[in-house]
Structure 1
Amino acid sequence: MRETEHEEAWPKSPPRLGVGMVGYAFMGAAHSQGWRTAGRVFDLPLQPALAALCGRDAAAVGRAAQHMGWAAAETDWRALIARDDVDLVDICSPGDSHAEIAIAALDAGKHVLCEKPLANTVEEAEAMVAAAERARARGRLAMVGFNYRRLPAAAFARQLVAEGRIGTLRHIRVTYLQDWLSDPDSPLTWRLNREKAGSGALGDLGAHIVDLAQHLAGEQIVSVSALTETFVTERPLPASGASGLAGNAAVAERGPVTVDDAALFIGRTASGALASFEASRFATGRKNALRLELNGSKGSLAFDLERLNELSFHDHTEPAATAGFRRILVTEPEHPYLEGWWPAGHGLGYEHTFSHQVRDLTHALATGEQPVPTFADGLQVQRVLAAVEESAGKNSVLTPVPQ
């Protein structure tokens, strides 16, 4: 075979997109999976290259970089941003660092992907939006990582709502329940520290369900009334270990929990639809139970993350004798994101949402189109979370009626 024929047989690789990531724990591992996998499933216009991984512990980040396929490791995010082989900075660190890193990266001419919630405060989120607007004028783009939007069933639900299949929206009903903190002797982590995490179940879980509800409904929450609760106010410090056996005088050193364990709130959308939300890390028996239902004048949609390849749909325009919720298995090639994966009926999992995130982001970067969710979308969620905390702080305590 002549050399020119060989070149034609092997198409040229797409332009390189050098990625630098800050953080390598749970979310860093999930994002790494997405960056590694997306180009092997979808035809991407840019080829992600895992240039460098950043973390404070040199030995630990070095091991993580090797394990997750990153070419190099850094211990200072400023050094990561300064690297010539990094075109995009992916922020997977705790919330208290999001604003500083994102703004510095955007101002340095890098694209940015930032995990949710966008920031710890509305003020930080507003500064990030301003930085994103400055960067966009120079051709650099920013996106916030609400990965549940990219579940095929959720994306299909959005499509059905946009097509008018459920008519005028009347109700949004969402819960996100976990139980990993239900043991009062579970150790204190950064997620239970307001300075690091911003809030507890509200920001961790509530951010997801507020964004997903607004996205699927196609409209924003404009008012809320809320309750929050911290069920366990002190926990063992990680270094001290668990408390001693019964009869042992030794007691583990404990530290304060400064965030909420659960949040319960109602709201109203711009069109007047009523919404209810519940987020808890104390719902025993629930591991990652996100459930959402939309009720409209022409029909309803329901989704359960524990059955994430399914969507329940009710067409209220059908005769009552045959109408009712029906199960849609969202695995057909015509469904969102499924064209690159397996034959119909072969379900996907949680990790695939991060590959879909990379697919959508690289296409937006290649065309110069603003990727979604935007930093402005993240700011809107932050404003809802702040309103929930403000409302919860104002709730009156009733005096019990004597019996």
Structure 2
Amino acid sequence: MTLRVAMIGYGFMGSAHSVGWRQAPRMFDLPDAVELAVVVGRNEEAVARAAEKWGWSEHATDWREVIARDDIDLVDIVTPGDSHAEIAIAALEAGKHVLCEKPLANTVEEAEAMAAAAARAAERGVHAMVGFTYRRVPAVTLLRDLVAEGRIGRVQQVRAAYRQDWLVDPEMPLAWRLQKEHAGSGALGDIGAHIVDMTQFVTGQSVEAVSGILDTIVTQRPLQASGSGLAGEAGEGYGEVTVDDLAIFTGRLTDGALVSFEATRFATGRKNALSIEVSGTLGALRFDLEDLNVLKYYDRTDRAELQGFTTILVTEPVHPYVAGWWPAGHMLGYEHGFVHQVVDFVGAITEGTDPHPTFAEGLSVQRVLAAVEASSENQSSWVRVAADAAVAV
């Protein structure tokens, strides 16, 4: 069987997803073949260039027409968040498997509708997954496995941060990621969603309550020139930034442990610094995306003179996903997570099992983000995260 893929969107994430779709069947023995059938975008000239560059067989400008086609099996959504719900629900109702970039939606209500549509589709053997790709960095998956094995004992505290600096310059143009109507939120949803999902993934627990604050540091930015990308040229005049630049919040996990979260685009000198440290009764584990082939492990049960963080180079064939790549010690990079995402999604579709993270898991992250916004807006000390009620089908 061949899964024919349609990708809706073609920007930065479209490039990363294209690499995933192209490389996965070449480096891994997939149970089903995949075909890069068609890429969709509103600008015909630009989407045609993207199709040629990344190896898509066709390009189109109307996603509704593409979803209606009988020869499309899977829809990959890499558009801004304001269109996720409409496209995903339409694709699922048309019987297409769906991969949707994170965060799942711009609001809890949209995410609930998407999770409900995914639940209905699953009854017909149609599957949906959210693109929290950092789960699939081998060191992060290994971290999760070691926590699950009990290597660090009971989790007592987590520190999670995602720090970037691409907005430090006040003359950076007003891209769509800085407009609430398109992005839903700023640093909170764009990169904060990753650390919320990663915390829940590696601990196996849910964030049940939060207390936090959001801030917009630069409130006016130059309007973006027509047709520019994320870091495109400035046009004429200024517009209002309607999302947060910085989110700092505390979370309480299911078993009572506290988590400190920081998501910022104003961490001068930090380019893509996602880090997480999980401390437990028997030890600790630490990961930093800016050194993504490494996992740090502290074993407090070892002899005192030997204690200290040790470095695990996560490039051995026994490590998650690594056997599909190069000999030990040959490093992996950012793009490999997108390849692993395809491997896992295609495998789940073939096996008829739920691919993770599911839309329900994406909804759980959306509820945490909403609780953080409510805490900041109301200056509340703690806001409980809405419980995951049964999704109506």
The correspondence for 1:24, drawn from 2, 7, 10, is 10
Counterpart of 1:90 in structure 2 is 76
The correspondence for 1:253, drawn from 228, 237, 241, is 237
Counterpart of 2:139 in structure 1 is 153
Counterpart of 1:334 in structure 2 is 318
Counterpart of 1:385 in structure 2 is 369
Q: Could you report, residue by residue, the CA deviation over 1:161-215 in whole angstroms, capped at 9, with x for unpaired residues?
A: 1101011100010111001011111100100000100000000010000000110
CA–CA separation in structure 2 for the residues paired with 1:172 and 1:119: 26
Counterpart of 2:202 in structure 1 is 216
The correspondence for 1:229, drawn from 165, 190, 215, is 215
CA–CA separation in structure 2 for the residues paired with 1:396 and 1:44: 49
Three-state SS of the structure 2 residue aligned to 1:332 is: coil
CA–CA separation in structure 2 for the residues paired with 1:81 and 1:46: 21
Q: Which amino acid aligns with 2:323?
A: E
Distance change (3 Å), C-alpha of 1:82 and 1:310: same
CA–CA separation in structure 2 for the residues paired with 1:310 and 1:179: 23
Counterpart of 2:287 in structure 1 is 303
Q: What pairs up with 1:171-320 in 2 under 5 angstroms? A: 171-239=157-225, 252-320=236-304
Q: Could you report, residue by residue, the CA deviation over 1:103-133 in whole angstroms, capped at 9, with x for unpaired residues?
A: 0000000000000000000000000000001
Q: What pairs up with 1:159-170 in 2 under 5 angstroms? A: 159-170=145-156
CA–CA separation in structure 2 for the residues paired with 1:69 and 1:336: 28
Q: What pairs up with 1:64-143 in 2 under 5 angstroms? A: 64-143=50-129
Is the CA contact (8 Å cut-off) linking 1:90 and 1:113 kept in structure 2? yes
CA–CA separation in structure 1 for the residues paired with 2:219 and 2:37: 41
Three-state SS of the structure 1 residue aligned to 2:276 is: strand
Q: Could you report, residue by residue, the CA deviation over 1:9-51 in whole angstroms, capped at 9, with x for unpaired residues?
A: xxxxxx1000000000000000000000000000001111001
CA–CA separation in structure 2 for the residues paired with 1:88 and 1:196: 24
Three-state SS of the structure 1 residue aligned to 2:53 is: helix
Q: CA RMSD in A?
A: 1.3
Is the CA contact (8 Å cut-off) linking 1:240 and 1:252 kept in structure 2? no
Which runs of at least 4 in structure 1 moved beyond 3 Å after TM superposition?
Answer: none
CA–CA separation in structure 2 for the residues paired with 1:58 and 1:240: 15
Is the CA contact (8 Å cut-off) linking 1:240 and 1:253 kept in structure 2? no
Three-state SS of the structure 2 residue aligned to 1:370 is: coil
Counterpart of 1:344 in structure 2 is 328
Q: Could you report, residue by residue, the CA deviation over 1:118-151 in whole angstroms, capped at 9, with x for unpaired residues?
A: 0000000000000001100111000000000000
CA–CA separation in structure 1 for the residues paired with 2:136 and 2:225: 38
Counterpart of 2:35 in structure 1 is 49
Consecutive unaligned residues in structure 1, runs of 5 or more: 1-14, 242-250, 398-403
Shift of 1:319: 1.9
Q: Percent identity?
A: 63
Shift of 1:218: 0.7
Shift of 1:240: 8.7
Rg larger in structure: 1
- Taking structure 1 as the reference length, the TM-score comes to 0.91
Counterpart of 1:10 in structure 2 is none
Is the CA contact (8 Å cut-off) linking 1:24 and 1:61 kept in structure 2? yes
In the alignment of these two chains, the number of paired residues is 374
CA–CA separation in structure 2 for the residues paired with 1:325 and 1:23: 42
Consecutive unaligned residues in structure 2, runs of 5 or more: 228-234, 382-393
CA–CA separation in structure 2 for the residues paired with 1:89 and 1:235: 34
- Taking structure 2 as the reference length, the TM-score comes to 0.94
Is the CA contact (8 Å cut-off) linking 1:21 and 1:28 kept in structure 2? yes
Shift of 1:252: 4.4
CA–CA separation in structure 1 for the residues paired with 2:105 and 2:335: 23
Shift of 1:83: 1.7
Counterpart of 1:353 in structure 2 is 337
Is the CA contact (8 Å cut-off) linking 1:206 and 1:278 kept in structure 2? yes
Three-state SS of the structure 2 residue aligned to 1:49 is: strand
Shift of 1:316: 1.3
Shift of 1:239: 2.5
CA–CA separation in structure 2 for the residues paired with 1:132 and 1:363: 18
Q: Which amino acid aligns with 1:201?
A: A
Three-state SS of the structure 2 residue aligned to 1:237 is: strand
